[in-house]
Amino acid sequence: MSTHGNRPEDDARRQEEARRILDRAHRDSAPILDSALRRSGDFLSARGESDDPAEIWGKRIGRGLAIAVGIGCVIYLVMTYAR
């Protein structure tokens, strides 16, 4: 028996698998810092979370204050215990 009858289907399946592998490799090889900066920018600006302007600005202010307080705590701990 010859398996040449399924050859176009096998080729199409292999090509699709190769495309998926290449797409995954491209996605996984993206620079870590770039994606982290993009995600943190989206987080701080509260993009795509709500349509209410008051809620968006409330989240932006709250998240900004949380970062400021966190940095302040780190500075305090370094100044206090790094002597």
Q: With a threshold of 0.85, does the pTM exceed it? A: no
Residues of the chain with pLDDT under 70: 1-5, 29-30, 32-34, 47-48
H-state helical runs in the chain: 7-28, 32-45, 53-81
What angle, 0 to 180 degrees and rounded to 10, lies between the N-to-C axes of helices 53-81 and 32-45?
120
- What's the pLDDT at 47? 67
**What does the DSSP 8-state code read for residue 3?**
-
Mean of pLDDT over the chain: 82
Write out pLDDT tens, residues 25-35: 777 766 766 67
Region of 2 on the Ramachandran plot (φ > 0 left; ψ -120 to 50 alpha; else beta) = beta
Length of the chain: 83
